[in-house]
Structure 1
Amino acid sequence: MESPRSPEAEIGHRVEDLWEVAEPQLSPSEKLNSCFEDIPVDSFPRTHPSQVIEIPCNASLAEAVEILSKNKILSAPIRNVEAPEEASWMDKYIGIVEFAGIAMWLLSQSDVAAHGKVGSPGGSPVANLAARLGSFTFRRTSSGRVETTNDSESDEAASVGGSFFETLTSSEFYKNTKVGDISGSFRWAPFLALQTSDTFLTMLLLLSKYRMKSLPVVEVGGDKIENIITQSSVVHMLAECVGLSWFESWGTKTLSDLGLPIMKPSKLVKDNYSKGFPYRCQTPSSGATRGLTIAA
């Protein structure tokens, strides 16, 4: 057997060894679950051996985006600057901030301001931003490309399509809102965390079922985050498993061959404002789980 090419590949070889000695009466799904259940999450390679990138809760959204961009990451834990150094991790961290979460929060606040649901003066930068963001919609062309169309013929509206990001990041919300101020809008408070004693199976189920983009790893009763496992790092790990028999037995099959739950068209939620483009999916009524794939 060839020596592992990377720490991720080493995990794949461990799964291979477990796969070969698994009980023969188990189905392929059960065998794979059993293999991942025997590997502790603490064996996952650390992206940042010396440190975990944190964002202080008193940082502005602009500063948070700069930190994420500088370190080439999509999310980071929010550190409570008022918590003492010896505090537990649950007291030290108040959530996880993501690029997507910041963008969605800015858009939601702009929409609220545009509809007069907050006390922003009509001529404020926030109201102006909301008005401009509301002046165009997206449509799909016959070639499949998505482009912007204006709801009005004004010169200002016509300029929005090419400067959407600049418009969004020039708002007072973006410059002055603190990360800690929006942490309560996140799905998990402070966040779902893995213990170092948890298994790969638990990690994969959390990433799939709860659509988490990253999972902090902590020690029970500890005061810091030991590691952060992201969706992209797991995909990279699986890419390193190409050529291994257990992976090839799955990678060459179609979704129907694997028996994964199929989502019915009636379960797709569509946004009428965006002309019927599906933007999220509800849970299939069956709730069936096959192997490591969970329809959330």
Structure 2
Amino acid sequence: MDLRKVEESGGGIGLVENKGVVTSSLGGDRGKGEVDSSRALQSFLDNIPIDTIPGIRNSSPVLEIKSDDCVQDVIRLLYDKNVSGAPIVGNVNSDFKEFVDRDVGFIEFSSMVLWCLEEFEKVKLESKSNFLGFLSMLEQTSQIGGTKIGELAKSFLWEPFFPVQVADSLFHVLMLFSKHHRLKVVPVVESSNSRVIGFITQSAVVQLLLQSCGLEWFDQIAERALSEFG
């Protein structure tokens, strides 16, 4: 998604009307610069719905894991599917599933692998160089490979599950990342059934913002020192 083209064309999401607000916010009294620049950026980002970002909707159903799944099974599953992480589904009583959130967290493939390597070190096991050797070691050490995903929450390996809906804005996503420092991935859910349909990562947001380079008002904000924004 090229944000420069979005601004030029309007993108059907009201950016044309806000372009004047953004431009005028950058002019005027320098003493109001900190507030006006922030407002200009917010106005722009708040008019980019998540649903307009390419790649948000996965072509296939999102892979989910259960809190009582074993670490070795989940690592193998994510490895086979070439997936970097997955939402964790908690055990919810069928009588209350309509009123309770199914998803309780998100865990990354890399976090589980690092945890296993640390546990191997504790029991004086040396990880083999290839990944298949790593999986074999998990099978041979049930105290590690057989650990339930739910147990990893005690090691703070879960990321909090703060979903956004497809109608939310990019600004809303940025606010979540800024307020929750452990958060690296934000799940995107359907408003009708709360099913996860895709993800937004911190790196994806950064790449998206980098495409704003070349917009005059954006460059004026980007070139200012952080100290000027308080």
State the TM bucket, normalised to the shorter chain: 0.5 to 0.7
Secondary structure in 2 aligned to 1:132? coil
- State the partner residue of 1:74: 84
Q: Matched residues in 2 for 1:78 and 1:87: separation?
A: 15
Distance change in 2, residues 1:193/1:69 (3 Å): same
Q: Pairwise mapping of residues 7-156 of structure 1 onto structure 2 (< 5 A)?
A: 8-9=1-2, 11-15=3-7, 17=10, 18=15, 20-23=19-22, 24-26=24-26, 27-45=36-54, 46-80=56-90, 84=94, 87-88=97-98, 90-103=100-113, 105-106=115-116, 110=119, 129-132=121-124
1:229 aligns with 2:221: no
- State the partner residue of 2:226: 259
Structure with the largest fraction of helix:
2
CA contact (8 A) 2:152 2:158 kept: no
The one-letter code matched in structure 2 to 1:101 is S
Deviation at 1:167, TM superposition (A): 7.2
- State the partner residue of 1:117: none
Q: Matched residues in 2 for 1:162 and 1:189: separation?
A: 28
Distance change in 2, residues 1:31/1:50 (3 Å): same
Distance change in 2, residues 1:62/1:245 (3 Å): farther
CA contact (8 A) 1:217 1:226 kept: yes
Runs (5+) with no aligned partner, structure 2: 27-35
**Percentage identity across paired residues of the two chains:** 28
Distance change in 2, residues 1:65/1:247 (3 Å): farther
User: For each residue in 1:112-161, what CA deviation from the matched residue of structure 2 results, as whole angstroms up to 9, or x when unmatched?
Assistant: xxxxxxxxxxxxxx7xx41538xxxxxxxxxxxxxxxxxxxxxxxxxx59
TM-score by length of 2: 0.67
Structure with the largest fraction of strand:
1
Secondary structure in 2 aligned to 1:227? strand
Secondary structure in 2 aligned to 1:94? strand
TM-score by length of 1: 0.54
CA contact (8 A) 1:218 1:226 kept: yes
CA RMSD of aligned residues (A): 3.9
- State the partner residue of 1:276: none
Deviation at 1:32, TM superposition (A): 0.9
Runs (5+) with no aligned partner, structure 1: 1-7, 111-125, 134-159, 262-288, 291-296
Q: Matched residues in 2 for 1:93 and 1:197: separation?
A: 20
CA contact (8 A) 1:89 1:223 kept: no
Report how many aligned residue pairs link the two structures.
207
Deviation at 1:179, TM superposition (A): 1.5
Distance change in 2, residues 1:161/1:225 (3 Å): closer
CA contact (8 A) 2:107 2:158 kept: no
Q: Which has the larger radius of gyration?
A: 1
CA contact (8 A) 2:58 2:197 kept: no
Q: Matched residues in 2 for 1:260 and 1:69: separation?
A: 43
Deviation at 1:199, TM superposition (A): 2.1
1:216 aligns with 2:187: yes
CA contact (8 A) 1:75 1:97 kept: yes
